[in-house]
Amino acid sequence: MPELPEVETIIRDLEKKVKGKKIKEVIIKERKLIKSPPPEKFKKGLQGRKLIAFERRGKFLIISLDSGKKLVIHLKLTGMLIHCPESRPLLNHTRIIFLFPGKTHLRFNDLRKFGELYLVDSEERIKGIKKLGPEPLGKKFSLSLFQEMLSQKKTKIKPLLMDQKFLAGIGNIYASESLYKAKIHPQRAASALTKEEVGKLYKSLREILKEAIKYRGSSVDSYRDVGGKKGDYEACLKVYGRKGKPCYNCGKPVKRIELGGRGTFFCPNCQR
DNA sequence: AATCGTTCCTGATAGC
DNA sequence: TGCTATCAGGAACGAT
């Protein structure tokens, strides 16, 4: 599942591969993924336009066009953006195709069809973006701000980290991994964390996200970069997906519980 | 404010 | 072997 590091990897790849290119044509094979405007208008608004700027906000990709409009994409669980020659056969789950001159495609592949595409005047018009919390790697996200944010929340820390309105871009993998690194039990009440623990969590969160970007993300499930390759951070995961396997720190088995309806991995011995 | 269930979708897996 | 039931998972939404 693409989270902040995976989306960051993709947006950087896109900038390298398609910046300045003009969209010749858009082929929509799955209309329901186009959330707004209606598919025909979406298509007309993109055809003939150049892609000029690339940014990430939370798990959203925001691509600015020379018309001033923005193409906004959320990959959800299984969305992928693949840049390839137009001669490569389509997959069953190729949903949207952007054609470029020079016989290349940018394809939106999405097995589960949960992905979302928008063409908007401003990304602020998208509710999910407007309500996003701070960027965990952004300048405004200071330790004192994090302390303040946590002190007001009585909810469990792990689901809270994944709440996009609280912090932008953290998903199931990096929430579990950050808490493991900070040695904090995922069920702890946010407001009950000590100052030291908040400090450790702040540091862990940012270090892990930066490291995961360096490694081009984790390919748990089906994530691929724009070239179709897996990320290398998977091998660095300490608890996620390791139920029953020995904790790298103490050797006791990693546990999986459900929190907020999500699988949560942790070491009951190391995380208190 | 917090929590819960439901919805979207389909491949993988478990059980028979 | 082959069928069927169950499940995961990001985020919005409504209900409690």
pLDDT digits (tens, 9 = 90+) for A207-248: 999 999 999 988 777 788 899 888 889 889 999 989 889 999
pLDDT at A234: 86
Compute the distance between CA of residue A155 and CA of residue A190 in angstroms, rounded to an integer: 6
Is residue A95 flagged as an active site residue? no
Q: What is the pLDDT of residue A223?
A: 85
- Closest alpha carbon to C1' of C9, residue: A77
pTM (whole model) above 0.85: yes
Separation CA A50–CA A114 (nearest Å): 26
* Strand C nucleotides in reach of protein CB atoms, 7 A cut-off: 8-13
Distance A179 CA to B7 C1' (A): 30
Q: Which long-range contacts (CB under 8 A, 24 or more apart) does A206-210 make?
A: A206/A136, A206/A137, A207/A181, A208/A174, A208/A177, A208/A178, A208/A181, A209/A4, A209/A5, A209/A136, A209/A137, A209/A169, A209/A174, A210/A137
